[in-house]
Each structure stands twice: as structure tokens, then as C-alpha cells.
Structure 1
Amino acid sequence: MWTTMKNLDLNSVGLSLSLGLIVLVLYEIIRIISSRAKTPPGPTPLPFMGSLPYFVTKPMELIRSMSQYGEMTTVYFGRKPTIVLNTIQITKEALVQNASSFSGRPSVPLIDWITKGYGIIFTSFGHSWRQQRRFALHTLRNFGLGKKSVEERVSEEGCYLVAEMLKAEGKPFDPQHAIHNAVSNIICSIIFGDRFDYNNKRFAYLLKILKNHIIQTGSLIAQIFNLFPFIKHFPGPHQKIYQNAEKLKDFVREALKEHRETLDANSPRDFIDAYLLEIEKQKSNEDSTFHEENMLISTADLFLAGTDTTGTSISWGLIFLMGNQDVQERCHQEIVGVLGYDRLPSMDDRDKLPYTYATVYEIQRHSNIVPLGVVHETTQAVKLRGYNIPKETQIMTNLTAILSDKEHWKFPHTFNPENFLDDNGHFYKTESFLPFSLGPRVCLGETLAKTELFIFITSLLQRIHFSWPPGEKRPDMDGIFSVVRSPQPFNILCHSRDSKE
């Protein structure tokens, strides 16, 4: 009899759990139906997970499908709706004309765990963000951003990069470390006051950690963490993301320690010196957001953003140029026709090198390294094209659709510099070219990135011919999708060009 009652109890528990689960799923389905009636159309979400499983397995396929729903799409990454802006017109309306309503940043558990809400890129739209961004822009300009001094540093680093690549002349090698080291050296010279040799093992290790950190931050485990942030208290692969972030912060901490010990208040050398002086200056200001923790994260933000995005764009550029030898050859002929083989390129040469300049822009368009832009959030309830969008709704910009809109591009789906040339062969760009975003949250390193891209790519094409090694498997052009869409590892062949060719 006891055994019978025990079996009945277990059956009752099982039945209760099953019924409870069914009720929960039905409630979730009803909630989704109610939510979808109030938002722009989009793919049908799964209960609790939304489109997240599909986004993790086939991200670019999902992103390319979004524009079929119209100028706005609603996608569920988990239980909350995200509004995706698919056209340049509605993007400008939201991020520029209604900037104050669309310039927030959502609370992302993984990012909050790492940054504690400090820094520039992912911090919320408010007093701290304004102070930190304003200071960063002002200080970066003081140390050469947008001036000849930084341009000269980029040109000099371009020479180092060419020499580094030609060390492996005729032998297959992966160029991505050298490219990222070169790009990173520019922002490092501004932030830390120093550059790092390409054979510096410690810095090479740091760049490897940085790359892994960016990939992991957009990985499946990161998405699971954002759904269930309480797992930070338990062991698992998510702890590796935090550990890598701490290693990057340790690098910055060490630099801060060295700067503090050698600081000369009358002669600041770089961004860190300027920040240390600002902390002292703002001590009596109750509204100040300048303190060591904000300095640490703001410096790390500049280091990460100033290294990976531009380096990734140049890496994609080499892939496109090796696959389009006619473009590579035409650029080289134009460059040597204007500069010869020895004069270093400068930003003043852009008008004399329209095809090369168009190629640099086409590399940015076609590489599309941030397919959905950096996520925004509404700071208040707002109306957009007839839809009532609540406060704290996530907003994304479908740069994939905008950068391949057939109404604005002559060759929307292929790599072709003619997208940036008029009928007379002169350079021009349309309003749909916005890899740096729009509005108050526009990339603060845009000027530096444009300088690096033009001078580095021009320097490489001036002196080196790039080709695929025989039998080299071509990388998947969807790449590795994460915070930044980067190419899979690939090898190249370099051959020096000289005046005798």
C-alpha cells in the first residue's frame, strides 16, 4: 500500500510539473502574440529564446533576411523585443532627428560584469558618458588626432608594417597579427605614449587575448550569460571571458602605475597623463566622474576599439584584393604614378588617388564588420513611424542592409570600387555609407580610423603584391560573427614591388 501511495505521489508531482510547464509555455505564447501586435513585423520568435538559437547558428543569414519585413524589423533575442532599423532614412530619423531618445545603451549583464557601468562605449546615456566622451575627444585631439602629427605616426608605422610583411616574402603566413600590431601601435602611442615591436611576445599575447575576448563576448556562452547572469557565481566557460577582460585591464593598470610614478604635471605625455591630471583637477567637483576605475575602463575602451575594428577592416581588405587582382593592380599603378615607390602617402594625396581612395571606402563597405551596429536603447517612450516604442527598448541599425541597398549602390553585393566613383572617375560617397554610425554615439575614433585605413592600405599596395598561396582554402566570407565580424584565419603570399618591375 505504501509503495502504491508513493507511486501516486510521484505521478501527481510529475503531472503537476507537466501541467505547470504547459501553462507557462501557453502564457509565454500569448505574451509574444500580444507583444508582436504592437511592434513592427519580424520573424516568429520561439518561447523564451526568441530568435536567439537561429542568430547564434546562422547570424548573417538572419540579418540578411530582416529587410524583407520593411523599414523596421522586430527580433527577439531572448524574451525582449529589439527593433532593427533597415534603411538609411529611418536610421537618420531615429539617431539624428530624435537623438536624445535613441542614444541610450542597454544594460547587458556580461558587459556590466566586466565594466561595472564605467567607460565610454557601453555606458548609459547620461552625465558620466558626456564627461568621459568630451574629455576623450578633447584629449585625443590635443595629442594629434586629426592633425599632421598622428598622420606622420601612421605613415612611419606603415613602413614598419611593410617591412614586417616582407620578412616572409614568398612564404605563406597569416598577416593578421602584424596588421593588428601596426594599428594598435597608433592608439598605443596616443594612450600609453609608446609603440610595441612586432616581435614583442608579451604584446603579441595581449593582442591574442584581445581578439579572443572580442570573439567570446559575442559567442553562445555570452548570450547564455546574458539570459542567466546569476551563473557568474559558478564555474564555467563564461569565467574565461571575465579572466581575459581582467588580463586586458591588468595591462592598463600596469601602465597607469608607471605613469603615476613618472608624471610631470607641466608636461603630460599622453592620454593617461592627461587623465591623471584631470582627476586631480576635478577632486573638489562633486559632479566629477573622473576616478581611477573610470580611467581604467575608458582607457581599455579606447585601446580595444582603436585596435580591433581598423585591423579587422584591413584584414578583410587583403582578402578582397587577393580575390580581385585587377583592382589591386589598378591601385598599385595609380599609387606609383603619383608617389613613385619611395614617397610615403599622406592624406593630402586622396584627391590624386581617386581609385585607391574609392577602394579603401569599398573595403569598409564590403567588410561590414559590425553588421547590426552597436546596440542603442531608447531613453524615453517615443513614437517612430506610427509605432509606440517604450522606454528601454533595444535598437539596432541593420548596416548589412544599408551598406548593400540596391537603391544606393551600383554594385551592392560585390566588391567594386566603382561604388564610390562618379561617371568621371572622381571619388564620391552616398549618405548610405555609415560604418561609424550616426548621431551622438558616432564612433569617436572615426578620424583616426580613416587616416589609418587610407595610409596603411596605400602603403601596402605601393610596395607589395598580395596573392593566395597555391592550394590555399578560401575563408568563409561570412567570417566569425561576434562583437566585430572578423575573417577566419587565412594565409597570404607577399612579393615586393620595386621600380624595376
Structure 2
Amino acid sequence: MGTALTILDLNSVVLALVLGLTFLVLFEIMRLHVSKGRTPPGPRPLPFLGTIDSIKDPLGSARSMHQYGEMTTVYIGRQPVIVLNTLQITREALVQDASAFSGRPTLPVIDWITNGLGIILVSGHSWKQQRRFALHTLRNFGLGKKSLQERVIEEGHYLVDEMLKEEGTAFDPQHVIQNAVSNIICSIVFGDRFEYDNKHFAYLLKILNENFMLAGSLLGQIFNMVPFIKHFPGPHQKIIQNANELLGFIRGEVKEHRQTLDPENPRDFIDAYLLEMEKQKSNEDSTFHEENMLMSTADLFLAGTDTTATTIRWGLIFLMENPEVQERCHEEIVQVLGYDRLPSMDDRDKLPYTCATVHEIQRCANIVPFSVLHATTQPTKLRGYDIPKGMMIATNLTRILSDEKHWKSPDTFNPENFLDENGHFYKPEAFIVFSVGSRACLGETLAKTELFVFITSLLQRLHFSWPPNSQRPDMDGIVGLVRFPQPFRTICLSRDTKV
């Protein structure tokens, strides 16, 4: 009798679980049906899992989204995301209605790392205070001025010399490029640069790159759907371990700055932030405190390192795949600068083909396929749709940067996309790799300077080619928070300097 009751109880539990799960699935299907009726069309999501194709193959998904119209709705787990597929509707939302579209969404994996602090991924009052201060401080320490350009020019010279140490041998250029780019933002934020053989700094750059991949990978997407897994062991714990190591490095820099701070002569961003914290002590509305300093510094360090370095790495791939472009750039550079005069931003007008090539590298690299996610800060309307507060908004840069309406050769690497009929450089309005509106890239000026000076310096002095019998990397790359090229090796040779 007891055994029969136990079996009956067990059957009842199983039946209750099955009915409960069935009810949850049916409820979710109904919720999705109602939600889809209120949002722009898009691929059919699965209950709880969302739009699987956009997770499994984000680049392929981005390329096909325009079939649904100017706006597409996809789902990250249970969360709808409205994707803007055209330049016109992107400007309509992010520029014309900037205040309503200037927020950032709450993503569990990002919140886990940032605790809702910093500059890039926050919204509202804190973002306004931190961004205003960062822009003002970066300008004070050279952003947009000759002094900073001189640092970039000097670092470009160091980068060429460092690559020449590997002349004639196949090597992975990731570290030297990342170190060179990072040295510029480090000189502003920390007041110093780091040598290419500094093993501790090389390790920090490695885990920085790793976190960009992990946070945007399938692992990061799973975390966003079931964030309570942060309390359990697993590969996702590597994300927070890496973030803590980076913050530990910054804490060490802050401690050193505190001990040597001269209030009359701030040396860099950290000094300026320490002084601002003191100044804002009595302001109850202030967002300037120790933890925000650490995360804002980390934001500048991360954003000023990885995106530009990744673009240059893609650039080497495109130049090796298109040797005729590489040769034409080199000939133009040597004709204007010779082999010895280092390039500067003042040379852009005299180097139209090279300038066009740098921009074409950015277009084809497409390192942030959906741009940085936005969120609505208030209820608004867009093309007849009622958009609630908190809706996630993505810009389909993959489509906009390859839209045949705006580009002569949308699907191939061709610098002619940025040249007019007279061979002069021009920039199509669809070139919005730094985004548009109030949340456009904070470091756009710096990134433009680094990309032009570094790439021109490399093409002036070096020739790049694939190692014999090397396997070409998949041109879709690896999509995380940033679209990275797969690891590759290159052979660089010094150009003959006899003119």
C-alpha cells in the first residue's frame, strides 16, 4: 500500500511538473505573439531562447535582416531588440530623437563586470557627468591637439621598428599592434607607455582581448538569459576573474598616483579624476567616487585599446589579400613623404588613395556589426510603432556599410568607395562606424588619428605578405563584443629605401 502511494505521489509530482512547464511554454508563446504584434516584423523567436540564428550566426543574421524592412525585431532570450537597418531610420532615431534613444540597456553580463558604473555602458545623470568630464579631461591632455598627434607619430615609428625585429619570419602581429595602440590611451590615462617586452602588460592585453570575446560569445548570451549562474562554478567565471585582474592593475596605478599627486600639475586622467573627486565632495548630486573612477578609467583603457587594434589587424589581412592596393598606397606615400619623413594628419589631403584605403579597412572590418546597443529612456514613437521605455535598440552597421544604395562596391574591398570621379577623397554619409547622435564614440578623434598614422607608417616602410602555404582566416572572423579576425601570421619585409 505504501509503495503504491509513493508511486502515486511521484506520478502526481511528475504530472504537476509537466503541466506547469506546459503552462509556462504556452504562456510564453502567447506573450511572444502579443509582443510581435506591437513591434516591427522579424524572424520567429523560440520561447525563452529567442532568435537562435542571431545568436548562432550574428553576422549572417545581420546580413539578412533588411528583408523584414527598415526595422527588424529579434529576441535575446525573452528580450526584444529593435534593429535599425537603414541609414535614414538610424538618423531619425539616434539624431532627430536623440534624447529618447540615448540610454544603454541592462545586460546581466555587462552589469556583472561594471556594477552599473563607468562611461560607455551607463545611462542618465551618471553618464552625462562622466562623459562631460572625460571629454573635457581628454582634451586637456591632448585629444585633438598636435601634442597627442606627436605621440601617435612617435609610437608609429616604434611599431615599425618592433615589427622589423621579426623581418622575414612568420609572426602573429596581435601583441605589437595592441601594445602600440594601447600606449596612446595609456599615456593619457596613466601618464606613461609600456614597452613591447613588458610581460605583465602583455598579459593584461591578453585578458582584455579574452573578455571582449567571452562577454559577446554564446557563453555571454547564456549568462544574459540565466544570470543566476554567476553563483555557480563554470567557464563564465573567467569573465569576472579577468575583469577583477584589470581593475586590480588600475587600483595599483591609482594608489601610485595618490602618493605622487601634485594638485597644481595634474599629469593625466587619473590625477584629474582624483582632483575632481575632492572638488565634488560636498555635492550630493555627484557621481565622482572611487569605484566610478576605476570603472571610467577601465572604460577608456578598454575602448582606447581593442577596437582600433582590431581594425588595424583586419587591415593587414585586407592588404595582404589585395597586394595591388598595398603597392598603390606605398607608391603614393613614398612619392609624397619619401621613406624618412613620418606621416601626420596634415598629409591626408596629399594621400587620397591611402586615406580611402584606411576608411575602406574600417568599412570592411565592421568591428561592431550591431554597433553598441542603445535603449530608450522614455516612451516614444518610430515609424508608427509605440516604443516603450527600456526597449533595446541596435544599429545594423553590417547592412548600412554594405548597402548598394550608398557604396560603389558594397561587397568587395575597394578603396574606390571613398574616391570621387577625380580621384579625390570623399566620405559617403553612410560611413557611420563611430555611430551618430549623442552617444557617438567618445574617442573618435583619437581613433582616426591612430588609424591613419599607424597604417600609413606601416605601408611606408614595410611590405606584408602571407606566409607560404598558409591557410587564410575565415573572413567572417570571431564575433564577440567586437568582431575579431581569427589568429593569423604575416611576413613583413623592409622596403628598399634607395630612392
Bucket of the pairwise TM-score, normalised by the shorter protein: over 0.9
Q: Secondary structure at the match of 1:102?
A: coil
Matches within 5 A, 1:176-187: 176-187=174-185
Q: Which amino acid aligns with 1:172?
A: A
Matches within 5 A, 1:202-213: 202-213=200-211
- Matched with 2:68 is 69
Matches within 5 A, 1:380-395: 380-395=378-393
- Matched with 1:19 is 19
- Matched with 1:197 is 195
**Deviations, residues 435-481 of structure 1 (Å, cap 9, x unaligned):** 11011111110000000000000000000000000011111111110
1:318 to 316, 319, 324: 316
**C-alpha distance in structure 2 between counterparts of 1:222 and 1:36, whole Å:** 25
Q: Which amino acid aligns with 1:71?
A: E
Deviation at 1:62, TM superposition (A): 1.2
**Deviations, residues 226-273 of structure 1 (Å, cap 9, x unaligned):** 122222222222211001000000111110001000011111111111
Contact 2:137-2:272 at 8 Å conserved across structures: yes
Matches within 5 A, 1:352-371: 352-371=350-369
- Matched with 2:326 is 328
**Deviations, residues 400-431 of structure 1 (Å, cap 9, x unaligned):** 00000000000001100000000000000111
Gaps of 5+ in 1: none
Q: Which amino acid aligns with 2:104?
A: R
**C-alpha distance in structure 1 between counterparts of 2:193 and 2:7, whole Å:** 72
- Matched with 2:467 is 469
**C-alpha distance in structure 2 between counterparts of 1:337 and 1:74, whole Å:** 50
Deviation at 1:217, TM superposition (A): 0.8
RMSD: 1.0
**Deviations, residues 263-290 of structure 1 (Å, cap 9, x unaligned):** 1111111111111111111112221111
Gaps of 5+ in 2: none
**C-alpha distance in structure 1 between counterparts of 2:497 and 2:112, whole Å:** 55
Contact 1:115-1:297 at 8 Å conserved across structures: yes
**C-alpha distance in structure 1 between counterparts of 2:6 and 2:185, whole Å:** 69
**C-alpha distance in structure 2 between counterparts of 1:110 and 1:476, whole Å:** 27
**C-alpha distance in structure 2 between counterparts of 1:454 and 1:193, whole Å:** 23
- Tell me the number of residue pairs that the alignment of Structure 1 and Structure 2 aligns: 499
Contact 1:215-1:482 at 8 Å conserved across structures: yes
1:296 to 290, 294, 297: 294
Q: Secondary structure at the match of 1:293?
A: helix
Deviation at 1:220, TM superposition (A): 1.9
**C-alpha distance in structure 1 between counterparts of 2:176 and 2:491, whole Å:** 14
2:6 aligned with 1:6: yes
Deviation at 1:312, TM superposition (A): 0.2
2:411 to 402, 410, 413: 413
Deviation at 1:146, TM superposition (A): 0.5
Deviation at 1:309, TM superposition (A): 0.3
2:44 aligned with 1:44: yes
**C-alpha distance in structure 2 between counterparts of 1:409 and 1:230, whole Å:** 45
Matches within 5 A, 1:165-180: 165-180=163-178
- Matched with 1:109 is 108
Contact 2:54-2:74 at 8 Å conserved across structures: no
- Matched with 2:243 is 245
Q: Secondary structure at the match of 2:483?
A: coil
2:108 aligned with 1:91: no
Q: Secondary structure at the match of 2:386?
A: strand
Deviation at 1:167, TM superposition (A): 0.6
Contact 1:312-1:369 at 8 Å conserved across structures: yes
**C-alpha distance in structure 2 between counterparts of 1:129 and 1:444, whole Å:** 12
2:29 aligned with 1:29: yes
**C-alpha distance in structure 2 between counterparts of 1:292 and 1:10, whole Å:** 55
- Matched with 1:82 is 81
Matches within 5 A, 1:118-267: 118-124=117-123, 126-267=124-265
**Deviations, residues 296-351 of structure 1 (Å, cap 9, x unaligned):** 00000000000000000000000000000000000000000000000000101000
**C-alpha distance in structure 2 between counterparts of 1:2 and 1:262, whole Å:** 78
Of 231-240 and 288-297, deviating more is 231-240
**Deviations, residues 199-239 of structure 1 (Å, cap 9, x unaligned):** 11011011001000111111222222212222222222221
**C-alpha distance in structure 2 between counterparts of 1:196 and 1:2, whole Å:** 74
2:468 aligned with 1:452: no
Q: Secondary structure at the match of 1:483?
A: coil
Deviation at 1:143, TM superposition (A): 0.5
Q: Which amino acid aligns with 2:17?
A: L
Deviation at 1:389, TM superposition (A): 0.8
Question: Alignment identity in percent?
Answer: 72
Q: Secondary structure at the match of 2:38?
A: coil
Q: Secondary structure at the match of 1:100?
A: coil
Of 318-327 and 212-221, deviating more is 212-221
1:480 to 450, 472, 478: 478
Deviation at 1:59, TM superposition (A): 1.6
Deviation at 1:7, TM superposition (A): 2.3
**C-alpha distance in structure 2 between counterparts of 1:18 and 1:249, whole Å:** 46
Contact 1:341-1:498 at 8 Å conserved across structures: no
Q: Secondary structure at the match of 1:122?
A: coil
**Deviations, residues 126-173 of structure 1 (Å, cap 9, x unaligned):** 211111101100110111100111111011000100011111111000
